[in-house]
Structure 1
Amino acid sequence: MRALVRRGGLVIAAAMAMVPATQGIAARDKPTDALMTGSFRVAAGQARAALDAGDVNGAAAQVSALLPSNPLENYTAAALRMEVAAKRGDPQAKRKALTDILESKAVPAGQEPYLRYLAAYYSYYLGVFNDALAQINYARQMGYNTTESTVLLADILIKSGKPTEGLALVDQAMEQQKAAGKPVPATWYDRAIGVAYKQGSWGEVAKWCERKLRAYPSEGNWRSCLANYLTAPGVDPQLQLDLYRLQAATGAMASERDYRSYSTLASAAGYDAEAKAVIDAGRTAGKLDATEVETTKLLKTVKVKAPKTIAALPAQVKKAKAASNGMAALEVGDVYFSLGQYPQAVEQYRLALSKGGVDPTRVNGRLGVALARSGDLPGGKAALAQAGGNWTNVAGFWNVWVDQQAQAKTGLTPAMSAPTS
């Protein structure tokens, strides 16, 4: 966000360096203007000519020698100082010149709200957040409620230790941007994600990541968002597995670490065939070296265990059907899920829910993914909506994927459709 504000500020500063000075000097040329003395008009004109010629030092000397004696001259001198400061890249001097402009009592009608916004920006840039907050609120109270002012206020609040209020304004700025028919820059989402991450607010991290992925669904963004969420404390191995599974589904497996972590988790959970498939995929993708000791050892183990796990499934299915509760069906469903046999997994998850004795928020999370991966996207969304507890955020990420599959089926890419807030 700061980078955005700064970039916008540089554009604004360039405009500011020209507009007030031009308006002030134009005003002195009016024959009916009796407020500009002849000597001041000549001296200001010389400073203007020096600036136009690129002689910044000469202009600075001439501007510092000006002796304004009334509001219009105060305004003109301050505007010239602003332009000198802009050409020198001196934010302290820009901020001081803005104060003088605002105190000149000759600001053109309707320009003060914008100038207050600029004052807020330069105070923010200089780290004077109390003044920045006062100035931006003043500007907005005077009617300067642009998207850029909302973005700036959001960042001021975040820098002032009020991240919750700041993020609410990031949200408002995004709505303003969309209402204007403009795309929301990816860096706005990144700023919000970064603030939520720093707070340790993992629900907010997930929310902002989901919004970014709807607007910018690249493989790199999927990996970044899922990798960030995987660092959350207390994410149990089953949740981690579903995040890695989603990373694989989105084509976002990008490193040796991704494949090693995924395969290790799958093996530890007893999903040996899945672990083997992940290692094989990593080697095919050139991300896992066939001579690497750790994965070679793991592969040797899971290759032996995987056939036994698969062979035991028919008996486990019978056991689950006869069980008094749904725990056995849930376990069998998870094994089918790990094998990519999603219709069979759906059957077992539904059996588990019907028998009870299981956490429905967890079962519905897996059921939703299994349905979607079986081709039943509406059914998948319906089940994912019933996920809860620790599975809420993971289900939210998968819900984004489901929506993108639906968009692909209709011939639209996610970027062609309106981002969902």
Structure 2
Amino acid sequence: MRATAVRPLLAASLGLGLTLGLAMPAAAAVSKAVGTALQQAQRAAASGNSGAAIAAVKNAQAAASTAEEKQKAAQMAGYVYTRAGQYAAAANALQAAGAGPSQLAPLYYQAGQYDRAIAEAKKAGGENMQVLIAQASTKLGRPQQAIAAYQKLIASNGAKPLYLENLAGAQYKAGDKKGYLATTERLVRVDGSASRWKTLLVNFSQNSMRSEAKLALYHLMLATGTIERPQDWSEFTKLALVAGQAGVARTAVAKAGPAADAQAQRLVEAAQQMTVKSAAEAPKLAAAPGTAVKGGNAYLGLGQYPQAIAAYDKAIAANAADADQARVWKGIAALHAGNVSAGKAAFASVTDKAGMKDIADLWTLYASTRGAIKG
């Protein structure tokens, strides 16, 4: 199982720019010495001369005598140190000036003082601070706390794709495989792009499963445009050949590119020969309940979906050991034929007895998205 990359939310959510939202302190009635030093600090910081800015703000702090002067000097120190990337010093200066937790929390986070950042964020509350808590927990290697924070975010603010993505990453780090896959499925429901499907299906493919389920997975990867590796096209071809889906095998072997070696050439030839054979044998195979799945597979490979569905129905009615396979293939054939409701019904009828339930559930998810395959 591969993780979804955890994407940083903090800067986007908190609006953190160079100054983390800190403004230069407003003008106030201060002595000439303090005022001059504050102006020098402001100009130097704005021009990117951090050394001069820090030296000037220290002069302002040294010259400050009244409570107002000390506060303005501390505020300028927070501004200057933030511009300089010295976030811990900025936080200390602003804390002395009475800054609130929502201003201190992101500074402590940027300084790498994650426990202090979490403590301040909890005091402040709100969506942005919950984001900070989640990401600080991740930085501290506490995925369970991050999971709780992301779940709270989602419960309060909706299943935003970025929140789901980061929740999935935290679940992966926590070793919560079931939760990870469930969250990734939720993410696909919110954002059914090829990249989302790829994450879900590549991770799912690493599970142990029977060959028929793996073949159905490759069908789904084909439908979502998520097969990229030549070895996957090769395995897809082999599994389709074993299942008697000749036309599918021809499609897969063609996608793999020109035959580069003897084995690849044999796959091409086998797919071509089976296509001719399937057309002749499909009616006979489909007629008998014991071979109806094979007949349905032959018709599926040939693109004759009504005939494939009829054959699968015969196998389902017989309720033999391959009935769940027939239900999955019937659903796929129905989607190809443009009958989404029949496809969903077929997938929903798959039991958990024969190792086909999980892939049927993924096909149900796919059937619920716009543009489910036809043709």
TM-score normalised by length of structure 1: 0.72
Residue 4 of structure 1 aligns to a residue whose secondary structure is coil
Q: Aligned pair in 2 of structure 1 residues 78, 195: CA closer, same or farther (>3 Å)?
A: same
Residue in 1 aligned with 2:219?
245
Q: Aligned pair in 2 of structure 1 residues 152, 50: CA closer, same or farther (>3 Å)?
A: closer
Which of 74, 77, 80 is 1:78 aligned to? Answer: 74
Residue in 1 aligned with 2:306?
343
Q: Percent identity?
A: 23
Number of residue pairs aligned between Structure 1 and Structure 2:
366
Kept in 2: contact 1:192–1:208 (CA 8 A):
yes
Kept in 1: contact 2:57–2:77 (CA 8 A):
yes
Higher mean Cα deviation, 45-54 or 263-272? 45-54
Aligned partner letter, 1:312: E
Residue in 1 aligned with 2:197?
222
Q: Aligned pair in 2 of structure 1 residues 220, 406: CA closer, same or farther (>3 Å)?
A: closer
Q: CA deviation at 1:296?
A: 0.7
Aligned partner letter, 2:106: L
Aligned partner letter, 1:156: A
Matches within 5 A, 1:290-309: 290-309=259-278
Residue 404 of structure 1 aligns to a residue whose secondary structure is coil
Once the two structures are superposed, residues 236-269 of structure 1 have per-residue CA deviations (whole angstroms, 9 ceiling, x without a partner) of 3222211211222234444433422311222244
Query: Structure 2: how far apart are the matches of 1:7 and 1:152?
Result: 10
Q: CA deviation at 1:227?
A: 2.6
Residue 78 of structure 1 aligns to a residue whose secondary structure is helix
Aligned pair 1:118/2:106, yes or no?
yes
Aligned pair 1:63/2:57, yes or no?
yes
Q: CA deviation at 1:61?
A: 0.7
Residue in 2 aligned with 1:102?
95
Structure 1: tracts of 5 or more residues without a match = 30-35, 410-421
Query: Structure 2: how far apart are the matches of 1:17 and 1:220?
Result: 33
Query: Structure 2: how far apart are the matches of 1:233 and 1:202?
Result: 10
Higher mean Cα deviation, 51-60 or 255-264? 51-60
Q: CA deviation at 1:234?
A: 0.7
Query: Structure 2: how far apart are the matches of 1:218 and 1:361?
Result: 29
Aligned partner letter, 1:395: A
Aligned pair 1:210/2:173, yes or no?
no
Once the two structures are superposed, residues 268-290 of structure 1 have per-residue CA deviations (whole angstroms, 9 ceiling, x without a partner) of 4443443223223x2xxxx5124
Which of 126, 130, 152 is 2:132 aligned to? Answer: 152
Query: Structure 1: how far apart are the matches of 2:357 and 2:187?
Result: 18
Structure 2: tracts of 5 or more residues without a match = none
Superposed CA RMSD in Å reads 3.6
Once the two structures are superposed, residues 282-308 of structure 1 have per-residue CA deviations (whole angstroms, 9 ceiling, x without a partner) of 2xxxx5124443211222234334444
Kept in 2: contact 1:362–1:388 (CA 8 A):
no
Residue in 2 aligned with 1:415?
none
Q: Aligned pair in 2 of structure 1 residues 236, 289: CA closer, same or farther (>3 Å)?
A: same
Residue 233 of structure 2 aligns to a residue whose secondary structure is helix
TM-score normalised by length of structure 2: 0.79
Kept in 1: contact 2:10–2:135 (CA 8 A):
no
Kept in 1: contact 2:34–2:69 (CA 8 A):
yes
Kept in 2: contact 1:13–1:86 (CA 8 A):
no
Aligned pair 1:137/2:122, yes or no?
yes
Query: Structure 2: how far apart are the matches of 1:131 and 1:171?
Result: 22
Aligned partner letter, 1:154: A
Once the two structures are superposed, residues 72-116 of structure 1 have per-residue CA deviations (whole angstroms, 9 ceiling, x without a partner) of 44443333223222332x2xx212321332244x33xxxx14214
Q: Aligned pair in 2 of structure 1 residues 162, 346: CA closer, same or farther (>3 Å)?
A: farther
